[in-house]
Amino acid sequence: MSQNGQPKLAVANASKFYDTGTGKVHALDDFSMEVQEGELACLLGPSGCGKSTLLWAMAGLHGLSAGEIRLDGRPVTRPNPQIAMVFQEANLLPWRNLIKNIELPFEIRGQRPDQARIDALLAEVGLAGFESKMPRELSGGMQQRASIVRALSVDPSLLLMDEPFGALDAFTRDEMNLLIQQIWMETKKTVVFITHNIAEAVFLADRVFVMSARPGRLARIFEIDLPRPRGLEVLMAPHFIELVGEIKGSIDHKPQVQAA
């Protein structure tokens, strides 16, 4: 909780329909959640459950059919300088080198790049010295590190991450999760992290918000009380495995009943 007791991010009764050629798609149904200042919240759900729809709405990239999203008490209806987003598969611009990619937000805002901050972030994620490399010359993990630096370079107070490590191999994914935890513990930014990987959600999150299949509804909230910093050995801890099992059960339950 922040000092005045107001959540950092509040989603209230959010619903979203898409008009497609074949009719209306109900992507999000009466979804509500609150994220506290400095919290690392994971949104977990099957593919196509409206996770990205919700995150894009949080970023002010598109509107809702009903309900509203508030950041620090103020409605989010358009992109906000306090919010930065990390996209799937890094989403670097292939015609710009690494440093030009990182400077893009400053360029758009007509500001001088915060060189000291960028250098410190690059060093932290291990990309110092790669500034002039083109994206295609970097591995998937390095590209995603660069995109994290790009998002953090503008010092947002809310970081939205849309399945950022979905395309990475398991080893790189573990590494990236450790990095996210480290950055988050240092900066204490509020993070909303989307994933469909249960172990990833449990490893990272303070709380896991489980979504149902489309239309996306909030199914359950799990508090993750594993102590921090969490190392990779936690993946083997009985309590971790117990939590993963419990969450898995809460997701798998419905389809099994339907199948029977």
Partner 1 sequence: MASVDRELRDKIPTFEKAGTQAAEVGNWSSAASTLSILKGGRDATLIAITAIIVFGGAELLLRLLEVPTYIAPTPSQVVWALIADFPHIGPHIGYTLIELVTGFAIGASIGFVLAAVITQFPLVEKIVAPYILLLVTTPMLALVPLLILKFGFGFTPRIIAVALASGPMVMINAATGFRRTDLAKIALARSFGASTLQIFLKIRIPMAMPMVIVGLMIGSIFGLLTAVGAEMVGGSFGLGNRLTYYSSLIQMPQFFACILVLAIIGISIYVFFFWVGKKWASWES
Q: List interacting residues with partner 1 (CB under 8 A).
A: 18-20, 25, 27, 52-53, 55-56, 59-63, 77-79, 81, 83-85, 87-89, 91, 93-95, 104-105, 107-109, 134-136, 154, 162
Shorter beta-carbon distance to partner 1: residue 173 or 230:
173
**46: closest CA among 244, 257, 219?**
219
Q: CB–CB of 159/188 below 8 Å?
A: no
**How many Å from the N-terminal Cα to the C-terminal Cα in the chain?**
43
Copy the structure tokens of residue 41. Answer: 């919240």
Least Å distance, CB 230 to partner 1, is: 29
According to DSSP, residue 216 is labeled: B
Minimal distance, residue 147 CB to partner 1, in Å? 9
- Of 107 and 242, nearer to partner 1 (C-beta) is 107
Q: Which is nearer to partner 1, 52 or 181 (CB)?
A: 52
10 Å CB burial of residue 67 (0-12, 13-18, 19+) is: middle
Distance in Å, CB of 17 to partner 1, minimum:
8
Which CB atom, from 7 or from 164, has the smaller least distance to partner 1? 164
**Minimum CB separation from partner 1 for residue 85, in Å?**
5
**Residue 205 three-state SS:** coil
